[in-house]
Amino acid sequence: MNDSIPLTALDAANPLGFLAAVGVLRLLAGNPDTQAARLRWAMAGTWQPEIVGLKCKPKELPAALLHCPGVPLESVALLGKNIKVPQSTFHNVAIAAQGAARRGNRAAADLVAAFGSEAFLDREERIQYTDLCFITGSGHQDFLSTAEKLNEKVTPEHLESAVFGPWQLDMGLSLRWDPSDASEYALQWRDPSKEGKSAVWGANWLAFQSLPCFPTQPGPPAGAARVVRTTGFFRARRQDPEFRWPVWTTPLSLPSVCSLLAHAEIHKPEPDHQALRAMGILQVFHAQRVHIPPRGSKFKVNFRPATAL
């Protein structure tokens, strides 16, 4: 039996890898049999996550993850295929989730809070949604439909590939959180739109499970605009938002991890690294969220490769 299980295929320098690691912890924390699990990062050429306090063999982890309660997509079925929805539609789903939370089950409320807020609307009276939503229906790619299909298709073998490697690519079902998903025509000798998109299904499924750890909330005005902020994202004036995430070496529970993800020091223009080290944070990565191409109505959203702050 192992007390520490290294997730050797996940790299903290890849936003998809980081989100997948947090997704692993969130799944385990929701199961009474595995809720003692903690997450830390260890340097092994790259920063790799380790699950601590789980009394099982590494080979048993993928199947155990599938038996943990995942995000309750059935509770938001009224949203349809995407979360870019009218305020009235979102409001009805949010009220139902609030009712469930009052009865002691807050899973749906946490998921709805991660999707967006009806506090501020766009010009078409739709909600402002999370910065972690990269697909909204263009190119026949739908955020919630992709998550539902991942729920149907992901197997223990997909999860074994995702957390222990080597990463297995399957066609479609990418949430576009891996910087390698950015296929730019100008940088390739053939048109990438004709080849289709492949993805690591297990890593994308695990990353989606992390969403409740990144709630949205109404933020301060950005110039004349009133915008919803997403936990984990830093916005400099007139720049694309960037995702920032910490790397820590002390085993932490899910509530402690969520506190770190939202810590103000990480989201300052110039974080104080001495103050971060005092909290056990040895590294902070950031990745720009960009539109490709940057202008025009037809674009894709991606992360640029991450760098250390």
Q: What is the DSSP string of 177-222?
A: -SGGG---GGGSSS-GGGT--EE-HHHHHHHHHTGGGS-EEE---B
pTM, two decimals, is 0.93
Give the pLDDT confidence score for residue 219 in this predicted structure. Answer: 82
Q: Are 129 and 93 in contact (CB under 8 A)?
A: no
Task: Decide if pLDDT at 232 tops 50.
Answer: yes
pLDDT in tens, 68-122: 999 999 999 999 999 999 999 999 999 999 999 999 999 999 999 999 999 999 8
Query: Looking at residues 210-216, what average pLDDT do you find?
Result: 98
Work out the pLDDT band at 186, boundaries 50, 70, 90. very low
Query: Looking at residues 7-26, what average pLDDT do you find?
Result: 98
Give the pLDDT confidence score for residue 224 in this predicted structure. Answer: 55
Q: What percent of the chain has pLDDT over 90?
A: 81
Give the pLDDT confidence score for residue 222 in this predicted structure. Answer: 60
Q: Write b or e for each residue in 14-30: b if 16 or more Cβ atoms lie within 10 A of its Cβ, otherwise e.
A: bbbbbbbbbbbbbbbbb
pLDDT in tens, 157-168: 999 999 999 999
Task: Decide if pLDDT at 191 tops 80.
Answer: no
Work out the pLDDT band at 40, boundaries 50, 70, 90. very high
Helix (H) or strand (E) holding 133: none
Task: Decide if pLDDT at 35 tops 90.
Answer: yes
> Helix 201-209 crosses helix 143-153 at what angle (to 10 degrees)?
120
Angle (CA) 300 245 122, round 5°: 45
Tokens of 202: 């297990």
Q: What is the Rg, in whole angstroms, of the alpha carbon atoms belonging to the chain?
A: 19
Work out the pLDDT band at 196, boundaries 50, 70, 90. very low
Distance between CA atoms of 309 and 307, rounded to whole angstroms? 7
Give the pLDDT confidence score for residue 139 in this predicted structure. Answer: 72
Query: Looking at residues 60-72, what average pLDDT do you find?
Result: 96
Query: Looking at residues 248-265, what average pLDDT do you find?
Result: 97
Write the burial class of residue 214 (CB in 10 Å: 0-12 exposed, 13-18 middle, 19+ buried): buried
Average pLDDT score, the chain = 91
Q: What is the DSSP string of 136-171?
A: SSGGG--HHHHHHHHHHH--HHHHHHHHHSPPPPEE
Distance between CA atoms of 139 and 288, rounded to whole angstroms? 22
Task: Decide if pLDDT at 220 tops 80.
Answer: no
Task: Decide if pLDDT at 183 tops 90.
Answer: no
